[in-house]
């Protein structure tokens, strides 16, 4: 039976590349999006996947959309928690809403999405949960205490859940990308972008397709002996022990 993969933030940027790669790998792919219906429609047409709107920071919406996916597409075998936002600012100037929005979307969403599917994965003795963290969750970043805290939290979430689910045939892993050539990064000031690339030993930005390749590897049935791991995918910019 064809396995079902759900990708949050799955219609743009890195999420688009992940959805495309998993579709090429033979999965029934569902991409979730927050508000850009135009991008979702374009993604559906280009990749040939189903998309559903969902605010992943809202637990009720996550439960509802996952129940709908199970009814219309099938039980979720692979979950990629990719959705994320930034609300940058120095901590001494940060407002409550900046902190809360990032924590809810980048960290709470992993609970909101994973909790409704974990029992089914346990019952079927198979599951792949892949959490997209960040280099800044490993090393921190000026002006991103909220983002760094959320992405570091994802790594802790990954390790603990991996221990709980290992004997049930479920793997839980994280990927921590560095600077990736998305539209958001491409829109940065050229001098700032050059200074970032200068800090990357391989001498370039990563590509969304490279992150998608790592997801594909972790999602594969033959990757069942890898769990609780964090893949640092940053061109050598930060080498974690």
Residues 62-89 have pLDDT tens digits of: 999 999 999 999 999 999 999 999 999 9
pLDDT of residue 164: 98
52, 147, 179, 238: the catalytic one is 147
Domain ranges of the chain: 4-180+209-233
- Architecture of the domain spanning 4-180+209-233: 3-Layer(aba) Sandwich (3.40)
Count of other CB atoms within 10 angstroms of residue 222 = 7
Q: Six-digit token pair at 138?
A: 């490993």
Distances (CA, A) of 118 to 33, 162, 184: 21, 12, 33
Active site residue 147: yes
Token match 């609970």: residue?
A: 111
Count of other CB atoms within 10 angstroms of residue 14 = 27
CA angle 94, 100, 102 (to 5 degrees): 90
pLDDT of residue 185: 81
pTM: 0.96
Query: How far is it, in rounded angstroms, from Cα 197 to Cα 191?
Result: 10
């Amino acid at each position: 039976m064809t396995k079902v993969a759900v990708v949050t933030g799955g219609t743009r940027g890195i999420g688009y590349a992940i959805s495309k790669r998993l579709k090429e790998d033979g999965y029934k792919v569902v991409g979730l999006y927050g508000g850009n219906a135009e991008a979702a429609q374009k993604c559906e047409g280009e990749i040939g996947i189903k998309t559903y709107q969902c605010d992943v920071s809202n637990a009720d919406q996550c439960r509802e959309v996952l129940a709908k996916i199970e009814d219309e597409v099938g039980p979720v075998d692979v979950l990629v928690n990719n959705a994320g936002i930034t609300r940058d600012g120095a901590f001494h100037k940060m407002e409550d809403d900046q902190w809360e929005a990032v924590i809810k979307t980048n960290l709470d969403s992993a609970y909101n999405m994973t909790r409704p599917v974990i029992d089914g994965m346990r019952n079927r003795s198979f599951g792949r949960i892949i959490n997209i963290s960040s280099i800044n969750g490993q090393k921190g970043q000026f002006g991103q205490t909220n983002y760094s805290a959320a992405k570091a939290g994802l790594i802790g979430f990954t390790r603990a859940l991996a221990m709980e689910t290992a004997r049930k045939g479920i793997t839980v892993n994280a990927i921590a990308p560095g600077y990736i050539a998305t539209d958001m990064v491409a829109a940065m000031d050229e001098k700032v972008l050059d200074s970032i690339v200068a800090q990357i030993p391989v001498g370039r930005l990563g590509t969304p397709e490279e992150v998608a390749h790592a997801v594909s590897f972790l999602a594969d049935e033959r990757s069942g002996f890898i769990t609780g791991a964090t893949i640092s995918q940053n061109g050598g910019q930060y080498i974690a022990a």
